[in-house]
Amino acid sequence: MPENWIAHAPFLAVLVSLAATPLILLASRRPNLREFWTLLAAAVKFGLVLSLLPAVRAGGTVEQTLLTLAPGISLGFRVDAFGLYFALIASGLWILTSFYSIGYMRGNSEEKQTRYFASFAVSLSATIGIAFAGNLLTFILFYELLTLATYPLVIHKENREAIRAGRQYLAFALSAGLLLVVGSAWIYAQTGSLEFEAGGMLSGGDHPAGMMRVVFMMFLAGVGVKSGIMPLHSWLPAAMVAPTPVSALLHAVAVVKSGVFGVIRMVGFVFGPEAMGAYGLNLVLAVFAGVTVILASLIAFQQTNLKKRLAYSTVAHLSYVALGAALLTQAGFTGAILHISAHATMKITLFFCAGAIYVHTHKSEIGELDGIGRSMPWTMGAFIIGSLGLAGLPPINGFLSKWFLLQGSLDAGLLAAMGVFLLSGLLNAAYFFPIIMRAFFRPSPAGEKPFGEASPFMVVPLCLTAFLSVALFLFPNLFVNLYDLAGLAVSGITGGEGTP
Amino acid sequence: MTGDHSVVLIPVIFFTAALLVPLCRRGSRRWPYWVALVSSLLGVAASGEALWRTLSTGEAIHYHLAGWRPPMGIELIADPLSAFFCLLITVVTVFVLWHGRSLVESETPGKAVPFYSCVMLLLGGLSGILLTGDLFNLYVFLEISSIAGYALVAIGDKRAPVASFRYLILGTIGASLYLLGVGFLFMTVGSLNMGDIASVLQTRAMSPVEISALLLIVLGIGVKMALFPLHGWLVDAYTHASSTATSLIAPIGTKVAAYVLIRALFYLFDTDLVREGIPVMNALAVMGAVGMLWGGVLAMAQTDLKRMLAFSSVGHVGYIALGIGLASPLGFIAAVLHTLNHSVMKAVLFLICGSLRQKLGDNALDSMNNSLRLRMPWTMAAFTLAAISMIGLPPTAGFFSKWYLVLGSLEQGKWHWVIVIVLSSLFSVVYFFRVLERVYLRPQEGAEEEPAPARDESRPSMLAPVLILSASLLLLGLGNVMIVNHLIRPMLPAGF
């Protein structure tokens, strides 16, 4: 029985939230029931993902083939350390987000919530599908599903601006998907297989250099939309019109991380570090990512809306991961993979804080936050932890990933990359500092009484994610062995001995 | 007994029904409908049986009309290719008739009898084209189906007769070109039987007369298939015909012409010569590719849903032509698979046009707004799924025919076709999301005063076929490997 469970767990984990979608839709008039289905699906999903941990930690993979999608290509899952790592983060944080969203929706009368939670569940399915996909076509299938599932979240407000953002998002994302399809078809024509391979399915072969570069650009554009690499990032800030739980999980964790997950899959499993280096592809990626880090950080300064500032910060941090992968060193990959989880816990904390402030006080502009730290000490305390972590200070897990990223730049001899990371750290500190200063050191507006914390449904999850950010620095293997999984993934990609 | 005759039964059922429909109108108002529906179901059964038999024995079924042996007599042949197309058109007809019961009455009142009679005549002609093994007989069936088609188009709105007349002129030119080609062939080969001609042509080099014959046949059938730039008749005909007529003709009419093209190019003439000697395959691919772009661009500019879908049909015929033009196993698979997929997708979309027309009064994009998503949620969900499949996102059916087409193009290093496929997919994103945006997002005018519209879904007999067909798009997509391996691979001509 237990073995049977494990063999089917990948597909079930994908299916759970998809199966919950009709239930969520049917319960549209009864918010409590609807939230119950979301919570149940989240818990079951996390449990299923967790059940795969022992097998993968032992260095194995769990494979499951459902049917043949096209000749020689199956709809198949192959859970390796990297995929499980991502799935654990996404499904684990979904539980916290579900609790949080109860508090959020009760405190705030958002419209069309059912559509949100339904799209939300489908997006999570697609995310886990992306994490577990065993070959490129399965990956693309879930990637396109994710595009469609997130479209309703982008056009949420249904006003002219939102619809324009939605058009732009679709145009970018669907074109990108097509490029992925064409690139995959080329790879299939070259190698006769689309299975992901640690170390790269194109490495070792003799491929025409010009075509390699063209196909790489296709892939880069393909995964670049969701990972917000400039100039393909503009949908992400526009999508901040969505309710905050959605922004928190999808636009800080699930969707955008699917993008950078795709970047690492592409670098480590499709092209392979060896071929990347040989054809000079890593430099292309590094330039795009490096420019994005700096520019997005600078743009974040200009934002006066809290969520928009967080969004640009997200754009910058996503490119940390891409830049880390482009270093092609063991430490670089480790840093990139660790930054996926580090940024996830820190940024979700910040979004949770922004949402708690908004629901409780209806403040969304940074200029309105004077003195708020005295009324909401827990919320703003968590905010401090998250923002210090993003700036890369210990004892928060953002420091850990940044350490590896810096070491990776040194190993690769790319001092420019190191400069980008250091400068970006300063910029992070600079655009988060004014918020903290206002919250704690400016007096409250005249006549405003202390209003206390938001509902515990919101404060507890955000304290938990802040706690996780610290705990994962002190004990990187806490709870679910994220650190070991990252090490296994890196050793697979580089063929080395694991984390340095 | 039926085993021997099932092949001839298919056209015979339909021609008999075409006569029965006018006769039985004295019975009840409903009878014509039921005669047509039951005949189509019988047609499905007979085609299914023929397909199953030819696949399980691995041999084509030959039937000699009235016992006259070829080359003197006329021969009907059911091989996997023709039986498959027969099954496809009969199944689509069943769904369209199921959906059209009340629609025919309401859109073209008092014309139900001629309508159903013409439908049966059309089906008889089309199934005859698919099954016959004789080039001249094919012409006869072509004319029967065309005349029925002109009549069906003419039973439409005010401008339908004009559209039908244009269709008639162009269709007649196409048929004449085809007939001329057949005459040329008869002159040099001395036979009209396809097997006979093939056995002669494939053993010796083709003379200039025979090459002209080939070109004339391709050109003539190209008109029927609405291959760019011969598609002039299609858009007006589709737009102005009644909803049910369009949803019948659009999915199956052009596909049968595509079948004739496949039959002629891969089975009749020397495949190697057609591939290398003369650039007819390349020309086909170019026409297909230009059609894909042209249809897409014009579809984006339309303000009427039906007209938009008609232009999209021009584009998708291009996909089939491109697949044929690649002249490789992958191209062949792509062409046949896309024929199947596109038939189902277009059937869904045009049926939904009919459902919308019943509720809204027309198909103008301007009259669509977000009240539709509340009034007809299921119909709109089916529309969305079909649109996604038309765009070609996995795992819907539309993705996979494109996948084979891309693989086939890459196999020959033809990147320009890949670019065309990508562009045309992007065009379809634009024109379908234009509609979806209206249906899901565009607010009603004066929405503040009006209460939210109540559920106003179309009746079950119209909803069910739409839902079944659109759900089958997912099945066709996920089961595409099975279809390719068990259905399409046995069709591949011997040369591959």
Gap from B439 CA to chain A (nearest CA, Å): 12
Percent of chain B with pLDDT over 70: 95
In DSSP terms, B64 is beta-bridged to: B75
Q: Do A71 and B484 make contact, defined as CB atoms within 8 angstroms?
A: yes
Residue-range definition of the domain harbouring residue B477: 293-445+452-496
B219 touches chain A (CB under 8 A): no
Most confident among A11-25, B369-383, B412-426 (mean pLDDT):
B412-426
Q: Which residues contact A51 (CB under 8 A, 6 or more apart)?
A: A5, A6, A9
Residue with the bigger pLDDT between B324 and A110: it is B324
Among A89-103, B12-26, B338-352, which stretch is predicted with the lowest mean pLDDT?
A: A89-103
Q: Do A75 and B478 make contact, defined as CB atoms within 8 angstroms?
A: yes
User: Pick from A8, A79, A86, A22: which is nearest to A486 by CA?
Assistant: A86
Helix axes B415-441, B305-326, angle to 10 degrees: 160
Phi, psi of B241 (to 5 degrees): -70, 165
Mean pLDDT of A68-81: 81
Q: How confident is the model at residue B96 (pLDDT cuts 50, 70, 90)?
A: very high
Q: Is the ipTM of this complex over 0.85?
A: no
User: Pick from B62, B217, B61, B78: which is nearest to B135 by CA?
Assistant: B217
Structure token digits, residue B292: 């894909």
Q: What is the rounded CA–CA span in Å between residue A31 and residue A28?
A: 6
Cβ atoms of residues A127 and A255 within 8 Å: yes
pLDDT at A1: 40
Question: How deeply is A423 buried, as exposed, middle or buried, from its count of CB atoms within 10 A (0-12, 13-18, 19+)?
Answer: middle
Nearest by CB to residue B406, choosing from A68, A71, A185, is A185
- Evaluate if residue A448 carries a pLDDT over 80: no
Nearest by CB to residue A140, choosing from B391, B394, B443, is B394
For residue A181, the chain B residues in CB contact (below 8 A) are 399, 402-403, 406
Mark out the alpha helices in A192-280 (DSSP H runs).
209-224, 235-238, 244-249, 255-264, 272-278
Q: Do B478 and A158 make contact, defined as CB atoms within 8 angstroms?
A: no
In DSSP terms, B364 is beta-bridged to: B304
Percent of chain A with pLDDT over 90: 0
DSSP A159: S
User: Is the dihedral angle over the CA atoms A131, A137, A142, A143 positive or is it negative?
Assistant: positive
- Evaluate if residue B320 carries a pLDDT over 60: yes
Is position B230 within any domain? no
Q: Do B441 and A68 make contact, defined as CB atoms within 8 angstroms?
A: no
Among A72-86, A470-484, B291-305, which stretch is predicted with the lowest mean pLDDT?
A: A470-484
For residue B395, the chain A residues in CB contact (below 8 A) are 69, 75, 141
In DSSP terms, A68 is beta-bridged to: A74
Nearest CA in chain A to B407: A185
Q: How confident is the model at residue A99 (pLDDT cuts 50, 70, 90)?
A: confident
Interface of B with A in 439-468 (CB under 8 A): 441, 443
CB atoms near residue B128 (< 10 Å) = 24
Nearest CA in chain B to A178: B422
Q: What is the rounded CA–CA span in Å between residue A458 and residue A455?
A: 6
Cβ atoms of residues B162 and B235 within 8 Å: no
Structure token digits, residue A287: 């330039």
The DSSP element (H or E) to which B377 belongs, if any, is helix B377-391
- Evaluate if residue B339 carries a pLDDT over 90: yes
pLDDT at A3: 55
Phi, psi of B193 (to 5 degrees): -75, 130
| Residue A215 Cα distances to A181, A218, B166, B179, angstroms | 11, 5, 47, 48
Gap from A3 CA to chain B (nearest CA, Å): 27
Helices (H) and strands (E) in chain A — how many of each?
21, 2
B403 touches chain A (CB under 8 A): yes
Mean pLDDT of B169-185: 93
CA torsion, points B345, B350, B352, B358, in degrees to nearest 10? -170
For residue B420, the chain A residues in CB contact (below 8 A) are none
B423 touches chain A (CB under 8 A): no
pLDDT at B445: 65
Cβ atoms of residues A431 and A388 within 8 Å: no
Cβ pairs bridging A and B (under 8 Å): 66
Structure token digits, residue A492: 């697979």
Instruction: Compute the C-alpha angle B328/B330/B334, nearest 5°.
Output: 115
| Residue A171 Cα distances to A151, A164, B402, B433, angstroms | 11, 11, 19, 10
The alpha carbon of residue A180 and the mean position of all alpha carbons in its chain are separated, in whole angstroms, by 20
Is position B486 within any domain? yes
Number of domains in chain B: 1
For residue A144, the chain B residues in CB contact (below 8 A) are 393-394
pLDDT at B16: 92
Residue with the bigger pLDDT between B138 and A488: it is B138
User: How does the average pLDDT of chain A come out, rounded?
Assistant: 81
pLDDT at B121: 93
Gap from B392 CA to chain A (nearest CA, Å): 9
Q: How confident is the model at residue B289 (pLDDT cuts 50, 70, 90)?
A: very high
Phi, psi of B42 (to 5 degrees): -60, -40
Place of tokens 């002249």: B327
Residues B231-266 pLDDT 10s: 888 888 888 888 889 999 988 988 999 999 999 888
Q: What is the rounded CA–CA span in Å between residue A149 and residue A130?
A: 13
Q: Do A69 and B395 make contact, defined as CB atoms within 8 angstroms?
A: yes
Count Cβ neighbours within 10 Å for each residue of A158-178 and write b for 16 or more, e otherwise: beeebbebbbebbbbbbbbbb
pLDDT at B87: 93
User: Pick from A361, A376, A363, A346: which is nearest to A456 by CA?
Assistant: A376
Site from B409, B441, B480 to mutate, A interface, most A CB atoms within 10 angstroms: B441
Phi, psi of A303 (to 5 degrees): -75, 130
Q: What is the gyration radius of the CA atoms in chain B, in angstroms?
A: 22
pLDDT at B290: 93
- Length of chain A, please? 500
Gap from B496 CA to chain A (nearest CA, Å): 17
Q: Do A144 and B393 make contact, defined as CB atoms within 8 angstroms?
A: yes
B371 touches chain A (CB under 8 A): no
Q: How confident is the model at residue A496 (pLDDT cuts 50, 70, 90)?
A: low
Nearest CA in chain B to A143: B394
Question: How deeply is A206 buried, as exposed, middle or buried, from its count of CB atoms within 10 A (0-12, 13-18, 19+)?
Answer: exposed
- Length of chain B, please? 496
Site from B341, B369, B393, B423 to mutate, A interface, most A CB atoms within 10 angstroms: B393
CB atoms near residue B108 (< 10 Å) = 20
Place of tokens 């509720």: B359
For residue A68, the chain B residues in CB contact (below 8 A) are 481
B470 touches chain A (CB under 8 A): no
Residue with the bigger pLDDT between B27 and A154: it is A154
B300 touches chain A (CB under 8 A): no
Q: Do A182 and B395 make contact, defined as CB atoms within 8 angstroms?
A: no
For residue A174, the chain B residues in CB contact (below 8 A) are 391, 393, 426, 429
Q: Do A68 and B410 make contact, defined as CB atoms within 8 angstroms?
A: no
Q: How confident is the model at residue A499 (pLDDT cuts 50, 70, 90)?
A: very low
User: Pick from B199, B175, B182: which is nearest to B135 by CA?
Assistant: B182
For residue B403, the chain A residues in CB contact (below 8 A) are 70, 181, 185
Is position B419 within any domain? yes
Mean pLDDT of A88-114: 77
- Evaluate if residue B42 carries a pLDDT over 90: yes
Residues A357-373 pLDDT 10s: 887 777 778 778 777 77
The DSSP element (H or E) to which A74 belongs, if any, is strand A73-79
Q: What is the rounded CA–CA span in Å between residue B105 and residue A193?
A: 54
For residue A166, the chain B residues in CB contact (below 8 A) are 437
Site from A174, A190, A207 to mutate, B interface, most B CB atoms within 10 angstroms: A174
pLDDT at B175: 93
User: Pick from B317, B342, B329: which is nearest to B257 by CA?
Assistant: B317
For residue A163, the chain B residues in CB contact (below 8 A) are 437, 441
Place of tokens 């249809």: B295
- Evaluate if residue B173 carries a pLDDT over 90: yes
- Evaluate if residue A203 carries a pLDDT over 80: no
Is position B9 within any domain? no
Mean pLDDT of A311-317: 88
Q: Do B425 and A189 make contact, defined as CB atoms within 8 angstroms?
A: no
Q: What is the rounded CA–CA span in Å between residue A92 and residue A86?
A: 10
- Evaluate if residue B456 carries a pLDDT over 80: no
Q: What is the rounded CA–CA span in Å between residue B182 and residue A434?
A: 84
Q: Do B407 and A167 make contact, defined as CB atoms within 8 angstroms?
A: no
Q: How confident is the model at residue A135 (pLDDT cuts 50, 70, 90)?
A: confident
B374 touches chain A (CB under 8 A): no
Is position B396 within any domain? yes
B422 touches chain A (CB under 8 A): yes
pLDDT at B446: 58
B140 touches chain A (CB under 8 A): no
Mean pLDDT of A349-363: 83
User: Pick from A140, A207, A142: which is nearest to A180 by CA?
Assistant: A140
β-strand B61-64 against B75-78: which pairing, if any?
antiparallel
Is position B248 within any domain? no
Q: Do A69 and B407 make contact, defined as CB atoms within 8 angstroms?
A: no
pLDDT at B452: 65
Q: Which residues contact A266 (CB under 8 A, 6 or more apart)?
A: A219, A220, A223
Nearest by CB to residue A141, choosing from B395, B411, B425, is B395
